[in-house]
Structure 1
Amino acid sequence: MNIYLTSLLFLIPIFLLLRRTRKTSKRIPPGSLGIPLIGQSLGFLRALHTNTAEKWLEDRIRKYGPVSKLSILGKPTVFIYGQAANKFVFHSDSSILANQQPEPFAKIMGDRSLLELSGPDHKRIREAIVLFLKPESLKKFVGKMDEQVRKHIEIYWKGKQTVTVLPMMKIMTFNIICSLLFGLEQGKQRDQFLSSFEEMLKGLWALPINLPFTQYNRGLRESVRARDLVKELVQEKRVLLEKNGASPHQDLIAFLLSMHDEDGKQVLTEKEIVQNVVLGLLGGYETSAITITFIIRQLANEPTVCAAVLQEQQEIAKSKASGESLTWEDLNKMKYTWRVVMEVMRIFPPVFGAFRTTLTDIEFDGYLIPKGWQIFWAAPMTHMDSSIFPEPSKFNPNRFEKQASVPPHCLVPFGGGPRMCPGNELARIETLITIHHLVTQYEWKLCADNHFSRDPMPHPTQGLPIKVWPRELA
């Protein structure tokens, strides 16, 4: 199809929507939708990449207030900010506010993933996944994760003078989540998954406005390949379960395949299992790797904090026999370390923000948001609000010493409400285990500057190279 005709067909709905907006109400949020198709997308993406996105949004807030309209990814969008805004996004009924992502993301992730579903279907699938990932279920995997972290450190850290942290952490978290979700250990099949998922992630962030679509189209192709790989695993696991060759509780795929309702019908379809296992892998391994990377970065920058973490972890290590795995009870003793993790996620949230889509005309803070518009929220805007967190730029884990002092809907690295990340407990376990083994075995210092950029997840300069050496035993 001629490119000019394609552009015209795309622009007509936007012009009609703009016309409808002018006629509907003067209570539409202030701001501008900008140039059709482009809108403010380029400016926002540039701000993300140069690590000035918070300032970019702060400028909007100063100009328009906490509610303003703009256009991102060719779609009219309303940016909302603050504690009440977060609560509105996380707790609004799915009949009025859907979790539909921009079309490029949706194409890669699939139409039956939790990112796209609302209402009963979302509840059914999420409850099934949460049942596997709840703390009571994950307790039995602590020893296995401990073993994988030890093995990773033995291979990638022992005897090394320098380590580039982010790629190493991505390998480790990918292996852990492959084992937990797929029952898949290292080997050729796991390497195929890693290759496909890396290309999928690149495609997710290569938005279609960045012509000529090369990276996005590659990501789209790899998403099909990744789902095919998972589908093969699902079918293999189904056969094993039928022959009693696999336990229903050994990994997420086996667990979901084994779930049936009171009529004997499988709770999730094969398509739903495939797409949500892919989503779990994409959502779980990179976000956890980034969080652990920034913890390592911060411990290098904050020697007092590092010393306090080390003291807590050494107390736990002293209670263990040589080679003995950490337990669930050990993790629950890591209270200060977890406060450090929370403070890292406050200042460097792996996910900057997300979108919702209005299914009907709705009101927020006195403004009308028309049906079909996007709503955009951003975690750093409450994380770095001085009225919520005093001296927000200062790294202070003790601000979380009393959990009740943190207002609800303000610290949202995992989201909130019915759509809170179901893997938050898994992330806690693998993060605490990793920090325990690293701080008790090694010391390190940064080899590069402290800069980082977002694309859109935060990435330290050069992947955070560090100089490492074994810690001397006290």
Structure 2
Amino acid sequence: MDYLAIAVALVVVTASSVAIHLLARVRRTQPGNLPPGSLGLPVIGQSLGLLRAMRGDGGSRWIQDRIDRYGPVSKLSLFGKPTVLLAGPAANKFLFFSGALSTRQPRSVQRILGEKSILDLHGADHRRVRGALLEFLRPDMLKAYVGRIDGEVRRHLEENWAGRATVTVLPLMKRLTFDIISALLFGLERGAVRDALAGDFVRMIEGMWAVPVNLPFTAFSRSLKASGRARRVLQGITLEKKKASQAEEEQGNGKASRNSDLITCLLGLTDGHGERLLTDEEIVDNAMVALIAGHDTSSILMTFMVRHLANDDATLAAMVQGK
């Protein structure tokens, strides 16, 4: 027992010494002209407090509390990175109109979505990728997708809504949104691959706003593994579509139609010299971003729309009559 007590005491003393050393090192490396506030514990910072507030729908209150305490400009640490919180009209003007700043995602998001995504590109590379993505979103191309979206919606309603007295709308809207995105972006038909990708997508989302600690039991670790699996699926789809396009060209059928899905569209884009506009890595990374970007906003909007119609008989009747 004496040996055990001594061992425990040594562990405690060692851990305390390391913690004190890290905190002292952080304080020593901070310049003297930083705004008020605290960076908190290394890596963790204020991430846990923000995540708790967001889960309880108190994100705005959490931010306002910091503004009340430190003023409109303060320092903190979120998701492993030193951060500056700016608030107010002057801060917004500086942020959006100043050339001194450029957007950059936290390292945790980069590791999940990839480093060649439009979220982290600047200058000519950003314009090149943005132009390629906008090619897929041209009005004439969007018209071609209406029929496919309609088919996904009809199947979804038949399988999940028809004959049921009550439904839980938000999870169903999230799955419907994912199915539509999978069909339009990747040309991925219903089946085991799409179902597996849907599960990995949920795990990816969970880890994007988690403390970036890559340990087996953490949400961030699960998200990284899910991202790896999703990336392999998209890489396989990209390779398959590239081979199909090359086969069509060799058979004299010309280039494959770019209207079928995002990956096919991006594979078919070339610059003024006939070279491909995007690399395979850029296509996969930006397909990952596109998968994430419209999911929550679209599903939540549709959920509120259904809620409104369920509580407004007049509007629902007018829509049914005008169909």
Shorter-chain-normalised TM-score: which range?
0.7 to 0.9
Aligned-partner Cα distance in 2 for 1:159–1:221: 38
| Amino acid corresponding to residue 59 of structure 1 in structure 2 | D
1:252 and 2:258 correspond: no
Work out which of the residue numbers 1, 14, 39 in structure 2 matches 1:33: 39
Work out which of the residue numbers 281, 284, 293 in structure 1 matches 2:291: 281
Aligned-partner Cα distance in 2 for 1:6–1:295: 53
Q: Is the 8 A contact 2:35 2:73 kept in 1?
A: yes
1:293 and 2:299 correspond: no
Q: Deviations over 1:416-455 (max 9, x none)?
A: xxxxxxxxxxxxxxxxxxxxxxxxxxxxxxxxxxxxxxxx
Work out which of the residue numbers 108, 113, 117 in structure 1 matches 2:112: 108
Q: Which runs of 4+ in 1 moved over 4 A?
A: 2-13, 209-213
Work out which of the residue numbers 199, 203, 214 in structure 2 matches 1:199: 203
Deviation, 1:230, is 0.4
Q: State the superposition RMSD in angstroms.
A: 2.8
Deviation, 1:4, is 8.7
1:146 and 2:150 correspond: yes
1:262 and 2:266 correspond: no
Aligned CA distance change for structure 1 residues 127 and 6 (closer, same or farther; 3 Å): farther
Aligned partner of 2:6 in structure 1 is: none
> Which has the larger Rg?
2
Aligned-partner Cα distance in 1 for 2:80–2:22: 9
1:177 and 2:177 correspond: no
Q: Is the 8 A contact 1:132 1:255 kept in 2?
A: yes
Aligned CA distance change for structure 1 residues 307 and 162 (closer, same or farther; 3 Å): closer
Aligned-partner Cα distance in 2 for 1:13–1:112: 33
Aligned-partner Cα distance in 2 for 1:107–1:5: 31
Aligned-partner Cα distance in 2 for 1:158–1:290: 21
TM-score by length of 2: 0.83
Deviation, 1:235, is 0.8
Aligned partner of 2:61 in structure 1 is: 55
Deviation, 1:197, is 1.5
Unaligned residue ranges in structure 2 (runs of 5+):
1-13
Aligned CA distance change for structure 1 residues 209 and 101 (closer, same or farther; 3 Å): same
Q: Is the 8 A contact 1:208 1:216 kept in 2?
A: yes
TM-score by length of 1: 0.58
Is the partner of 1:77 in helix, strand or coil? strand
Aligned partner of 1:219 in structure 2 is: 223
Is the partner of 2:294 in helix, strand or coil? helix
Q: Deviations over 1:98-129 (max 9, x none)?
A: 32222222111111112222222122111110
Is the partner of 1:243 in helix, strand or coil? helix
Is the partner of 1:98 in helix, strand or coil? coil
Q: Is the 8 A contact 1:11 1:37 kept in 2?
A: no
Q: Is the 8 A contact 1:73 1:209 kept in 2?
A: no
Aligned CA distance change for structure 1 residues 279 and 10 (closer, same or farther; 3 Å): farther
Aligned CA distance change for structure 1 residues 135 and 207 (closer, same or farther; 3 Å): farther
Q: How does 1:9-24 map to 2 (within 5 A)?
A: 14-18=26-30, 20=31, 22=32
Aligned CA distance change for structure 1 residues 228 and 315 (closer, same or farther; 3 Å): same
Unaligned residue ranges in structure 1 (runs of 5+):
318-474
Work out which of the residue numbers 265, 285, 310 in structure 1 matches 2:316: 310
Deviation, 1:16, is 4.4
| Amino acid corresponding to residue 217 of structure 1 in structure 2 | S
Aligned CA distance change for structure 1 residues 164 and 14 (closer, same or farther; 3 Å): same
Aligned CA distance change for structure 1 residues 5 and 152 (closer, same or farther; 3 Å): farther
Aligned-partner Cα distance in 1 for 2:64–2:258: 49
Aligned CA distance change for structure 1 residues 285 and 52 (closer, same or farther; 3 Å): closer
Q: Is the 8 A contact 1:61 1:67 kept in 2?
A: yes
Is the partner of 1:162 in helix, strand or coil? coil
Q: How does 1:362-377 map to 2 (within 5 A)?
A: none
Aligned-partner Cα distance in 2 for 1:16–1:265: 51
Q: Is the 8 A contact 1:108 1:219 kept in 2?
A: yes
Q: Is the 8 A contact 2:51 2:209 kept in 1?
A: no
Aligned CA distance change for structure 1 residues 77 and 64 (closer, same or farther; 3 Å): same
1:134 and 2:138 correspond: yes
Of residues 307-316 and 184-193 in structure 1, the stretch that sits farther from structure 2 once superposed is 307-316
Aligned partner of 1:71 in structure 2 is: 77
Deviation, 1:187, is 1.3
Aligned partner of 2:122 in structure 1 is: 118
Aligned length: 304
| Amino acid corresponding to residue 75 of structure 1 in structure 2 | K
Percent identical across equivalent pairs? Answer: 45
Whose strand fraction is larger, Structure 1's or Structure 2's? 1
Aligned CA distance change for structure 1 residues 174 and 87 (closer, same or farther; 3 Å): farther
Whose helix fraction is larger, Structure 1's or Structure 2's? 2
Aligned partner of 1:336 in structure 2 is: none
